[in-house]
Structure 1
Amino acid sequence: MADDGKQAPVPEIVQELFNRFGENSFTVQHTRDGMPTLWVDKTRIVEVLRHLKTGVSRPYKMLYDLTAIDERLRKHREGQPPADFTVVYQLLSIERDMARPYGGDLRLKVALQGEFPSLPTVTTVYVNANWYEREVWDLFGIVFDGHPNLRRIMLPPRFQGHPLRKEHPARATEFDPFVLDQMRQDLDQEALLFKPEEWGMKRGTENEDFMFLNLGPNHPSAHGAFRIVLQLDGEEIVDCVPDIGYHHRGAEKMGERQSWHSYIPYTDRIDYLGGVMNNLPYLMSIEKLAGIKVPPRAQTIRIMMSEFFRITSHLLFYGTYAQDVGAMSPVFYMFVDRQKAYDVIEAVTGHRMHPAWFRIGGVAHDLPAGWDRLVREFVEYMPKRLDEYQKAALENSILIARTRDIAAYNTEEAQEWGVTGPGLRATGLAYDLRKARPYCGYENFDFEIPVASHGDVYDRCVVRVEEMRQSIRIIKQCLENMPEGPYKADHPLTTPPPKDRTLKDIETLITHFLQVSWGPVIPHGEAAMMVEATKGINSFYLTSDGSTMSYRTRIRTPSFAHLQQIPAVIRGHMVPDLIAYIASIDFVMADVDR
């Protein structure tokens, strides 16, 4: 039975699995987001995943996410198999999604018993499971048997414990004071030394030695605290090892200690160039759990501000991308125009980069007087500037020579590594969540999905430039068709309640006080919502146990998947090609490390 008590039809893929493996091989779980969710025995997970990837029509080519849940303190697990820990696999079939909207997702779960359980690795089926399994082991202590190199990925090598387990403290004040003496510092530095043999690399051939070069984690071309160790034969890259985690600050753990409302500002800092676009999947997941329907005006405002942040993010990408391949002037012009967009954002929200302005059920306040004039000035000004940049950057012969046919990959390879967003569309696949499964009312807007065909460094820039033009087109439609009505839903769990009502009746005033100080009590259940963010698909998978805070907060970011792909694409290229490739990925380490 579904959560609302009505009998739900069996999804097509679930029936296919029943036919292949038998209905008794699975336990069906109904979730608030409606995503088909099946429990599988750990001895069969590899077999089931391989069948889904290669044995069904319209296969699930992408392992979208892999995470875990510590179930030991959870109270509401009705209808689910007994488990101390759960490993969760989320698959995406873009072919199914494009053929039949909302039909491309599938969630598989494996129940595990014991304090430090194990299950087979699925890297033999999905190569991008490598980093995800390392992350689960690092943060939960769950072992994946047969993994090629199960080692810490987010935390330092000598870190003690697994911090997403429920017994691990959530605040620094719960630990003893940290002391860094000389011995500890020396041991930590020793643990960070790169040993090629540990990564399956040879130090050289019979006739020559390879050179190993550290790039980062403090280097301007690394775009943040990102380290990549290169194995070089001369200037040719034989292999490389991306090393992440230098920016990890426990964003998911913080999501499990803050109230649903007070966690909103933390989401701004995930992709810190995406601003309110990070609020959106988090709040959409809460609203799905709580059954809140956001009014049309609030939805349109959300779309408008999200597209403003897409433009500011892409302008930063555009300028630094050109800079990384040798063009120094464009970045200064693009930062000027980025500030013009921030002027509009600040006028509407009161803040610039991190407004944390979306709220449960809507937005923080209504649009201010004069907002339409500012938005109109921007949408009339920006297209001409993009035309100028076309000549200065994309038609520049040096930029073209440095980026054409460099670090190219095709659609199949992109899906294998979990690539989404402009990096996927640059391969020729017109897949955009705003079209494939519209949210927030995107189905009411007229815009195109920019695509390219070569999937190289140049095309990844071309796609983003055209996306800015389409964002301007969407913002203009918001301007001309802004609905009337409330900016926030009239629902008891909307947080905070509409301000104008708090001084009219005591019940609303009490509700306002409780929901801001204590937090709303969100009904128990699970929901994951995805958005087409600035750098690819971003999603929040929230588990509520009927409390004032999330039981499990999972943040799936696009950049994590994109950096894992680097070695597969860059082998055989030169070091300067790697710099251009890194620039074309468009990532920030806060989005990777969380």
Structure 2
Amino acid sequence: MPIINNNNKIDNHLINAIPELFSHFEHSHFTPQKTVDQIVTLWISNKMLISILSFMKSISEPFDMLYDLYAVDERLRLDKSQIPALDFTLVYQLLSIQRNQHVRFKVALSETEISIASISNLFKNANWYEREAWDLFGINFKDHPHLTRILLPPTFTGHPLRKEFPCRATEKDPFSLNEQKLQKEQQALKFIPEQWGMKKNNDSNDYMFLNLGPNHPSVHGVFRIALQLDGERVIDAVPDIGFHHRGAEKIAERQTWHGFIPYTDRIDYLGGVMNNFPYILAIEKLAGIEVSERVKCIRVMLSECFRILSHMLFFGTFAQDIGQLSPIFYLFIDREKLFAIIEAITGARMHPSWFRIGGLAQDLPQGWDKMMTEFVDYFPAKLDEYEIMVMQNSIIKKRSIGIGQYTSQQAIDWGITGAGLRATGYDYDLRKKSPYSGYENYDFLVPIDDKGDAYSRCKLRVEEMRQSISIIKQCIKNMPQGPYKAEHPLTTPPMNNLSKHDIETQIQHFLNASWGAVMPKGESSFAVEATKGINSYSIISDGTSSSYRTRIRTPSFAHLQMIPEISKGLMLADLIVIIASIDFVMADVDR
């Protein structure tokens, strides 16, 4: 780690942001870095990591949620000289919900000493984040309880988010599977309980081991849980993820800024344009692009449509997993009604990829307001029927009330956001706490509960649909006039009418449309209240037409880590209810 550069002094703005930190530690322990997102970002030495993070967790109104942990391979970065980086960087982003404030600590590591102490004893959810950093970058975390592959197969060779690893399969040798390799792969599939941290059978017990998934309707995607059972009671549960990993963050390094937008749709594939939102907003913040009030309003309206679509599917499958089959069919009929409107506006249904850097793909079509009004007038009464059908069902209540229960502190410890956090009594919704895209102009409530169980998580999402309807009605009534794209030169793709003036504007249009816009150097991130919790994109630009590093922080990755803690001692049937109540998508987990 480079010693602190005395020219990078801690200014009053940073001191005022976290006064406790700078009064407890000498300023020489920190090198500040300015980022476009204005999150306090401090470089520290690996020797100070544990002390500083422990302190941040202990102060009043603590930074007690490990919001994200990720790595960056700095070796090919064009603007590396502007930051105190070595070969690799580890980023620890903490969140204080009480302060509604983030802080980002960075640690520089050299390729010859790519090792650091694990913080899994300090933050429970660091376990998976550290495994991910080892899996994709090869960073060793000393004293980690189970440092193994998490997204890639155990037989995988290499660490794919390192810069020397190719972005495309065509850059590698053709795939082949000989007998020797086949045997190696088969051997790796052998289930050995001790390797999963499970106990063996002995004379006093006769445990059964069961694979739930990865191909089973109740696990909502290619998700496996290795279970240790005593009869039908869960003794241990170890989630196994990675079956849906597609290397989205690696793909972001090869696509243009604009060309990566369709890939974001496939992260939470039920979230549609909600996935475009944080990515687009992070880029617009980096480039200094301001969009019109009309664009902001349309983005909010479409995002809330997809919140309803996602919650409708959750509501139906929650009931289905518990044994009530009819609601999912009714809800699918209503989803089709809303999908038809999405298709009429955007030209596509589930994955419209409709948001653009600096605006939208096109303006709203004629008649959009009539279609949208018909749906928001029709759906609330149907939702009331479905709520009675499901939430007042005595079997649903008996199966879900008190099941999968956790406290607010447990939610913070595991990085739980969204309805899962609000069901424990925390009133934390980014649309209210850190409004974006004009959310501060809308009148809506944030549903909360204090039971923290499966029933509460479902109940809140039903109420969230009602609030989304209210927001959409306000969008219809108060839709502003204005352009659907900004005239900023980095808007991608640029408006056609701006390319007709002279040869220079035609050249700019051609380059932006073909090679992609070149974004300014810098680091930016943006978080939104997505369908399943807080979703954010952290992007690094070193002044080229594609991202140097794109980090996708998804809510589902954090949420699945909690399954063992809230399922042990319950019945196997209760575990199905817990899984249903989390509301996750495996593409959102594995990326």
User: What TM-score, normalized by structure 2, do the two folds share?
Assistant: 0.97
Deviation at 1:504, TM superposition (A): 5.5
* 1:475 correspondence with 2:479: no
Q: What's the counterpart of residue 346 of structure 2? A: 349
1:329-340 equivalent positions in 2, closer than 5 A: 329-340=326-337
Contact 1:29 1:79 in 2 (8 A): no
Distance 1:329 1:371 in 2: 31
Match of 1:44 among 44, 48, 56: 48
Match of 1:231 among 206, 228, 246: 228
Contact 1:11 1:36 in 2 (8 A): no
Q: What is the letter of the counterpart of residue 87 of structure 2?
A: D
Match of 1:87 among 90, 98, 103: 90
Deviation at 1:234, TM superposition (A): 1.0
1:307-386 equivalent positions in 2, closer than 5 A: 307-386=304-383
Distance 2:109 2:380 in 1: 54
Q: What is the letter of the counterpart of residue 90 of structure 1?
A: Q
Alignment partner of 2:194: what SS? Answer: helix
* 1:28 correspondence with 2:36: no
Deviation at 1:503, TM superposition (A): 4.6
Match of 1:495 among 475, 484, 492: 492
Q: What's the counterpart of residue 538 of structure 2? A: 541
* 1:12 correspondence with 2:12: no
Contact 2:88 2:110 in 1 (8 A): yes
1:124/1:138 CA distance change after superposition, 3 Å: same
Contact 2:131 2:147 in 1 (8 A): yes
Contact 2:432 2:440 in 1 (8 A): yes
Distance 2:330 2:509 in 1: 45
* 1:74 correspondence with 2:77: yes
Q: What's the counterpart of residue 4 of structure 1? A: none
Distance 1:314 1:293 in 2: 31
Structure 1, unpaired ranges of 5+: 2-6, 98-103
Residues 92-139 of structure 1, C-alpha deviations (whole Å, 9 max, x = no match): 000001xxxxxx100000011124600000011101000000000000
Contact 2:320 2:327 in 1 (8 A): yes
Contact 1:116 1:143 in 2 (8 A): no
* 1:446 correspondence with 2:449: no
Q: What's the counterpart of residue 211 of structure 1? A: 208
Contact 1:495 1:520 in 2 (8 A): yes
Residues 459-490 of structure 1, C-alpha deviations (whole Å, 9 max, x = no match): 11000000000000000000000111111111
Distance 2:505 2:466 in 1: 43
Q: What's the counterpart of residue 585 of structure 2? A: 588
* 1:424 correspondence with 2:421: yes
Distance 1:504 1:538 in 2: 40
Pairs aligned (count): 583
Distance 1:116 1:173 in 2: 32
Q: What is the letter of the counterpart of residue 47 of structure 1?
A: S
Contact 1:421 1:537 in 2 (8 A): yes
Deviation at 1:44, TM superposition (A): 1.2
Q: What's the counterpart of residue 177 of structure 2? A: 180
1:350/1:8 CA distance change after superposition, 3 Å: farther
Match of 1:561 among 553, 558, 563: 558
Deviation at 1:516, TM superposition (A): 1.9
Alignment partner of 1:335: what SS? Answer: helix
Distance 1:126 1:144 in 2: 14
1:87-106 equivalent positions in 2, closer than 5 A: 87-97=90-100, 104-106=101-103
Deviation at 1:24, TM superposition (A): 0.2
Alignment partner of 1:214: what SS? Answer: strand
Deviation at 1:153, TM superposition (A): 0.2
Q: What's the counterpart of residue 120 of structure 1? A: 117
Contact 1:298 1:487 in 2 (8 A): yes
Most deviating of 490-499 and 531-540: 490-499
Q: What is the letter of the counterpart of residue 567 of structure 2?
A: I
Structure 2, unpaired ranges of 5+: 6-10
Match of 1:292 among 277, 289, 294: 289
Deviation at 1:11, TM superposition (A): 4.7
Contact 1:497 1:508 in 2 (8 A): no
Distance 1:335 1:11 in 2: 53
1:501-580 equivalent positions in 2, closer than 5 A: 501-503=498-500, 505-580=502-577
Q: What's the counterpart of residue 166 of structure 2? A: 169
Contact 1:211 1:232 in 2 (8 A): yes
Alignment partner of 1:261: what SS? Answer: coil
Q: What's the counterpart of residue 8 of structure 2? A: none
Deviation at 1:199, TM superposition (A): 2.7
Deviation at 1:500, TM superposition (A): 3.8
Q: What is the letter of the counterpart of residue 84 of structure 1?
A: D
Q: What's the counterpart of residue 268 of structure 1? A: 265
Distance 1:493 1:108 in 2: 30
Deviation at 1:190, TM superposition (A): 1.6
Alignment partner of 2:99: what SS? Answer: helix
Match of 1:64 among 59, 62, 67: 67
Distance 2:113 2:155 in 1: 18
Distance 1:84 1:421 in 2: 35
Distance 1:207 1:474 in 2: 59
Q: What is the letter of the counterpart of residue 112 of structure 1?
A: L
Deviation at 1:9, TM superposition (A): 1.9
Match of 1:412 among 409, 414, 417: 409
Alignment partner of 2:116: what SS? Answer: strand
Alignment partner of 1:256: what SS? Answer: helix
Most deviating of 305-314 and 497-506: 497-506
Q: What is the letter of the counterpart of residue 20 of structure 1?
A: H
Q: What is the letter of the counterpart of residue 264 of structure 1?
A: I
Deviation at 1:567, TM superposition (A): 0.3
* 1:246 correspondence with 2:243: yes
1:315/1:344 CA distance change after superposition, 3 Å: same
Alignment partner of 1:345: what SS? Answer: helix
Alignment partner of 1:592: what SS? Answer: helix
Alignment partner of 1:540: what SS? Answer: strand
Distance 2:87 2:56 in 1: 26
Distance 2:383 2:15 in 1: 45
Task: Tell me the C-alpha RMSD between the 2 structures.
Answer: 1.4
Distance 2:454 2:50 in 1: 34
Q: What's the counterpart of residue 393 of structure 1? A: 390
Distance 2:182 2:212 in 1: 22
Distance 2:348 2:463 in 1: 27
Contact 1:116 1:142 in 2 (8 A): no
Contact 1:495 1:512 in 2 (8 A): no
Distance 1:25 1:79 in 2: 18
Q: What's the counterpart of residue 100 of structure 1? A: none
User: What TM-score, normalized by structure 1, do the two folds share?
Assistant: 0.96
Residues 405-454 of structure 1, C-alpha deviations (whole Å, 9 max, x = no match): 00100110001000000111111111000000000000000000011121
Alignment partner of 2:185: what SS? Answer: helix
Q: What is the letter of the counterpart of residue 454 of structure 2?
A: V
Alignment partner of 1:534: what SS? Answer: coil
Distance 2:253 2:111 in 1: 22
